[in-house]
Structure 1
């Protein structure tokens, strides 16, 4: 894969404005990139349109362009251009990592406040990049060499780019600010070849000579459940986006091994032939195994580059030398509703009590063991636009009048805690304005024809919808120390966890 150049632009009211450009191969000029941005991304050629309507890969005037916008409420665009038959997915991933690096090195405040979790704007902003032009160009210089992706690890970049942020008048090393608790060897700091070894070594994501007083490993298995639930509580459609997040504070060069309760196999082995796919998929071998969730069928799984895939394919265990600090070990997606369960059964119904009154009922039951407790279970309930008053009652939780938001046409019912196996009910009497004689209809009846769905948010610690479990976490280092290991699970609602209302 070869990238001719990478450019950064700011999305502004008057169009996309140039921030920085790095030309790796002198094959695509800056004018050509600017013309693509003006004509395609800014819509001057085919009329005004938003970037969401433009394909992420565009062939324009003999040049292939791959572009990506930074996540969140960011106004930064990254554009990569090439004249070669390149792997566009790899180019997309390179831009994704580049934007993450820029967000880390050029946060809203400074890199120290970002590392110490001080309140800052989490989205990458163009103004933050304009304030540090030399740093941005240094990162673009190191990320790729002659168009080939080279350094995309923050730890390695810290030794290659020149930037020493300060906090309260004290100069702080960037790497120390990111990793906070590292103790660096003075000899390693003074070694001229340390940075080169970190980039070109067998494990460029981890540096040699890391020492901690207390060796600890934190592993979090997090699953975000998105679902569309029928009024009777049945699951219509849904998916689970899961990930294993780790925080590693270990000395030396440890080798870690994680055993999962899942048994995965390549898609080709499961009967689905697709030569270009890198996803792994598992299938339950029996109804009994499927019922007890001893296997989890995954649609997609993505590993961190530190994972040794050859070991995973042979023994289905995750072997890796971990990066220092925080990182995502793997992520996966499950879209077959038969392969995961919802933590709650929610049913709802609405009935009219007249031209200006209606009653909405919600019942929620926790479908997990009584030893577990869900927190911040909030049911977001829609209201008609003509609502003037809402009277709420519930068998548990909070139903305060301040929860009613007539401006947003919604109210909510909050359960701070909900133990497994418990059930609670909610009832709301909704009063609306009477319809005018000219309209000849009742606002309540019009709303009944298309009642918006109820939305649910929640957090359930020590529970996973897919049944994912960490069987073991082993750490081996030649010095023989015994680290402290922590394993946690969390299931929470995705962006679209909705329940239809019967009427």
Structure 2
């Protein structure tokens, strides 16, 4: 079910209404007073972004020093409401030179009212694309003197076609001297490993980021080594494919520019890209994950005042690759006094603020291993010793040109009626999400 908002309020941190717009007559104009009384005065703001007060629900989000509150009188899609707020703030920032705060709202009352009338109709979200709205709402907002963004040069004449057409995210008439496409596959590895080395939980969340500087209205086609796409391609060619390893993507979501009809029928990612940076797709993988690091910890408690810590870290990725910014955080008891270290690479120190031994390695080559040996001295207390519940070891890293999922770009093709040449750049990077090893 869509949002079906009855009203939208903009409040400052004191709870004063800066601006509001009523879309339905099923709520009273004083509903925000109930919000202030039940939420802001009880200092519970921030604990839960959804509140039920009387017969209405309040969805609110804080952006800078402004609270945006959506009031609904019926059951509504909460995720859709927050998505609307995020997109609306991005729209306001595009008009206000990149800033959105109380001063920006006070300086742009008329423009905000005009935008609120366009982006929501009878409580239902409409078009929130800055590129399209700027075609017919040409009033410039009061911009911050510190903003480096420049206003759109001039509106494109055929606004009606772009508002109602299929390519509403891209304006016509773009021209670049050098046509380039940058594609980045960014993945985060989440791991929970037991002290015996067995994997308890492991998955990869990834996204495909693009930056396009292309003239005209190009049509792009992206080929990945995913299982569904290769199987469909093999059926179309009536012969088995030889594209190497295939992977199975889960929970795939696409940018609105992707032709979903073509994807469902041909299993190819075809799209007319927006201009500049955008997120093409997101995905998740739960099987066949290539872990970039193996961590083998050994922690021995020697009496009440000493502890030995030995940690071995192995890089599993290719020998020609390397990881950057590797940080291993090894937890120790709160009564730790000091620690002495021996490391084969990098530097280590005891950080009392987080009760951990922090081992940092700037550059970690592939197919190598590093070890840390530490002697930890504990403060002796006369109180009864409590058993130390060992938190897991945490790890941070970035590995360029490596994907834990094995996802690879097989091809990236660009078609445009003028037939210009393009330069395509593809990069991969894998970083740590929640990478934990129990000890």
Change (3 A) 1:133 1:384: farther
For 1:461, which of 400, 405, 414 is the aligned residue? Answer: 400
Q: Distance in 2 between matches of 1:7 and 1:201?
A: 31
* TM-score normalised by structure 2 residue count: 0.85
1:96 equivalent in structure 2: 86
For 2:11, which of 9, 12, 16 is the aligned residue? Answer: 9
Structure 2, unaligned stretches of length 5 or more? Answer: 230-240
For 2:143, which of 157, 165, 174 is the aligned residue? Answer: 165
1:322 equivalent in structure 2: 273
Aligned to 1:365, the other structure's residue is in SS state: strand
Q: Distance in 1 between matches of 2:78 and 2:426?
A: 37
Aligned to 1:427, the other structure's residue is in SS state: strand
Change (3 A) 1:233 1:31: same
Structure 1, unaligned stretches of length 5 or more? Answer: 115-123, 176-183, 266-288
Within the alignment, does 1:377 sit opposite 2:329 as a pair? no
1:251 is displaced (CA, Å) by 0.8
1:209 is displaced (CA, Å) by 0.6
1:76 is displaced (CA, Å) by 4.3
Change (3 A) 1:243 1:17: farther
Q: Distance in 2 between matches of 1:377 and 1:398?
A: 11
1:231 equivalent in structure 2: 195
Within the alignment, does 1:155 sit opposite 2:143 as a pair? no
1:27 is displaced (CA, Å) by 3.6
1:144 is displaced (CA, Å) by 1.8
1:167 is displaced (CA, Å) by 5.7
For 1:254, which of 201, 218, 241 is the aligned residue? Answer: 218
For 1:141, which of 117, 131, 156 is the aligned residue? Answer: 117
Within the alignment, does 1:386 sit opposite 2:335 as a pair? yes
1:24 equivalent in structure 2: 23
1:419 is displaced (CA, Å) by 1.7
Change (3 A) 1:479 1:26: farther
Q: Distance in 1 between matches of 2:318 and 2:155?
A: 56
Aligned to 1:52, the other structure's residue is in SS state: coil
1:424 is displaced (CA, Å) by 0.8
For 2:256, which of 305, 321, 326 is the aligned residue? Answer: 305
Change (3 A) 1:156 1:404: farther
1:120 equivalent in structure 2: none
| Aligned residues of 1:227 and 1:498 also touching (Cα < 8 A) | yes
| Aligned residues of 1:232 and 1:348 also touching (Cα < 8 A) | no
* TM-score normalised by structure 1 residue count: 0.75
Aligned to 1:451, the other structure's residue is in SS state: coil
1:81 equivalent in structure 2: 71
1:261 is displaced (CA, Å) by 1.0
Deviations 1:110-146 (A, max 9, x none): 52xx8xxxxxxxxx75565556545544443332233
1:141-220 alignment, distance < 5 Å:
141-159=117-135, 160=137, 161-163=139-141, 165=143, 173-175=150-152, 189=154, 193-220=157-184
1:443-458 alignment, distance < 5 Å:
446=386, 449-458=388-397
Aligned to 2:227, the other structure's residue is in SS state: coil
1:61 is displaced (CA, Å) by 3.2
Change (3 A) 1:164 1:61: closer
1:96 is displaced (CA, Å) by 3.0
Q: Distance in 1 between matches of 2:110 and 2:334?
A: 52
Change (3 A) 1:390 1:320: same
| Aligned residues of 2:108 and 2:141 also touching (Cα < 8 A) | no
1:398 is displaced (CA, Å) by 2.2
Aligned to 1:30, the other structure's residue is in SS state: coil
1:26 is displaced (CA, Å) by 3.9
Q: Distance in 2 between matches of 1:253 and 1:363?
A: 53
1:121 equivalent in structure 2: none
Q: Distance in 2 between matches of 1:194 and 1:38?
A: 48
| Aligned residues of 1:164 and 1:171 also touching (Cα < 8 A) | no
For 1:405, which of 351, 361, 367 is the aligned residue? Answer: 351
Q: Distance in 1 between matches of 2:432 and 2:93?
A: 26
2:247 equivalent in structure 1: 295
For 1:52, which of 47, 51, 54 is the aligned residue? Answer: 47
1:32-51 alignment, distance < 5 Å:
32-39=31-38, 41-42=39-40, 49-51=44-46
Change (3 A) 1:102 1:381: farther
